[in-house]
Each structure stands twice: as structure tokens, then as C-alpha cells.
Amino acid sequence: MKKTLLILLLASAGIIQAQTGKTVRAEAETVYHIPETESRKEALVKASEEARAEAMRKAFGESVTQTSGHVNEKMTIYGNTEVNGKWLKDTQSPRIRYRIDSISGETAIFVHVWGKAQEIKRAEADLKITTKRCSEDGQCIPTTAFHDRDILNFDFLSPIDGFLAVYLQDEDNNMFRLLPSTLNTKGSQEIRANTFYENLLIQMLNSYVELIAFNSVEFNQLHFIFSPNPYTIPIDEEMKGGLRWLDYQVFQEWLSKNRTRDTEMQDKTVMVEIRK
């Protein structure tokens, strides 16, 4: 089993008390043309996000806004529109096809998704998350680009009191728990409103977490699970090195169940690149 770690750089994401509506089954297919500057792995993540956004757009419609290029938990923005929903879970694995244009040589990804989504009528909390690459002497640089054995860290700020858990998802869909630490028996990390948590990961673990790449380049995701309401993390297993682990499918079932019950729970994800 791989033991890869990942990071995330999240700008602001909007919050006010969330008002949720109906939960429905949704599906859609989108086509994503891969730029020369992107790998297939990176493009697949973006194509899958766009397919889920399109499925929610078909189910709940969209709102015209004055902002663009920003993605938040309750309304995913593409161009100048916001999708009025949140994706709860995939109900089956996405269908993925690649096509190479015989003339231009351009590669396109066709992604078809099926899942459950919930209508959102207002936005959620404005969390600020910054991922960092750090050295052992404590010097840190904000980034989402890492090399093998780089030390992961992040800052966190919330406008409201709440509870936080952080997981790393590697390319084999293993979920590694970063926070709360194994010494925390409350089930999630307590967060105080308007308190800037600098270097939160190292602060809470009192040790380093290294990002490991087994291939020349890998893309992982960090999941920041935040809610103003107390919750308990899913059952996981201890592994060598002090981290705890669970399967992605188990994590998704837990997350879907909790987000259905708690409409204010957010799952902020950020993709990070790790090079050998």
C-alpha cells in the first residue's frame, strides 16, 4: 500500500448559514481537452469536477454572479455562474474515455459521473487554508508543488467556532488521517473563531509529515472537513509511522452520511503535486 502525503492551498470560500433543499440522484458527462501543460492525472481530476458540476447544474440550475474562477463548498463557480448544490457522493465509479485527435494530436477526456447531490440555496463559511512546504529548521513557503520527502504544513483560519479533521488521499485512494492527532480522543480538532492557526499541522502533531512520491509525479488531495457542529471521525486503522488509515470508500460513506445530517459540514479539497 502506498504511503503518499498531499497538500492544499485554498483561498476564501463563502459562508453564511447554509439552507439546503432536496437531495437527488444526478448524472452528467463532460469533455475536457487536456492542455499541453497538464498531465493526464491532473486533467482527470479537473474533468471529474466539471462533470459533477454539470450534473448539479442540470439538477438545480445556476446563479449569475459578478465573480469568476473561484470554487467553494456550497456553490462551485465556473466562469460567471455558480452551481446551486453540493456533491454528496459518487454512486458508481465514473466512466472515463480518452480520445486523441488524429490531425491535431490533442487529447480529450470524456467523463461520465453518477451520484447524489443536495440543493444549496445559500453559501457557507469563509475558510482560509494555506498549504506550505517546510524545512526542518522551520522555514516555510506557501505552495501546492512539492518534491519527494518535503515536509507538509498548513495555516488555517475560520470566522466561526467549529471542528476540523484533515485527511490525505493518495492515488491509490488510501485516506491518511492528519488531524486530529492520535492523542486527541474527542473525534475532531476544535477551532476558535478568528484565530489564526499558523503551521497548524506541526503544531498539533508535534512532529513532521513528509510527502512521498513513488512515481516521477503524483497528484494527491487534502480533505479539510469542517463544521460548526461537533462530529466524530470514522473508525480507522493504525499503520507504521504513527499515521492512521482507512479506505476511500469507507471515508466517502461516512462523509455522505454526516453531510446529509449536518448541512453546515464542508469538505474543502485541494490537489497537490509531488515530484520525485
Q: Residue 4: which pLDDT band, with cuts at 50, 70 and 90?
A: very low
Contact present, 155 and 130 (Cβ < 8 Å): yes
β-pairing verdict for 266-275 and 145-147: parallel
Q: Which of 103, 120, 137 is the last residue of a domain?
A: 120
Say if residue 69 is in the same domain as residue 142. no
Say if residue 133 is in the same domain as residue 240. yes
Task: Write out pLDDT tens, residues 107-126.
Answer: 999 999 999 988 876 567 88
Task: Write out pLDDT tens, residues 52-69.
Answer: 989 988 888 765 433 333
Whether 15 is in a domain gets the answer no
Whether 10 is in a domain gets the answer no
pLDDT surpassing 70 at residue 22: yes
Q: What is the pLDDT of residue 223?
A: 94
Whether 11 is in a domain gets the answer no
Domain count, the chain: 2
Whether 69 is in a domain gets the answer yes
Q: Tell me the whole-structure pTM to 2 decimals.
A: 0.67
Q: Which of 120, 144, 171 is the last residue of a domain?
A: 120
* Percentage of the chain exceeding pLDDT 70: 83
Say if residue 26 is in the same domain as residue 92. yes
d(CA 261, CA 98): 37
Whether 9 is in a domain gets the answer no
Whether 256 is in a domain gets the answer yes
**Surface-to-core class of residue 136, CB atoms within 10 Å of its CB (0-12 exposed, 13-18 middle, 19+ buried):** exposed
Q: Which of 78, 102, 120 is the last residue of a domain?
A: 120
Say if residue 132 is in the same domain as residue 71. no
Is the dihedral angle over the CA atoms 266, 271, 145, 207 positive or is it negative? Answer: positive
3-class SS at 239?
Answer: coil
Task: Write out pLDDT tens, residues 62-94.
Answer: 654 333 333 333 333 333 346 778 888 899 999
Q: Residue 156: which pLDDT band, with cuts at 50, 70 and 90?
A: very high
Who contacts 239 (Cβ-Cβ below 8 Å, separation ≥6)?
Answer: 3, 245
d(CA 202, CA 152): 8
Say if residue 134 is in the same domain as residue 270. yes
Whether 153 is in a domain gets the answer yes
Could you list the residue range(s) of the whole structural domain that residue 203 is in? 128-275
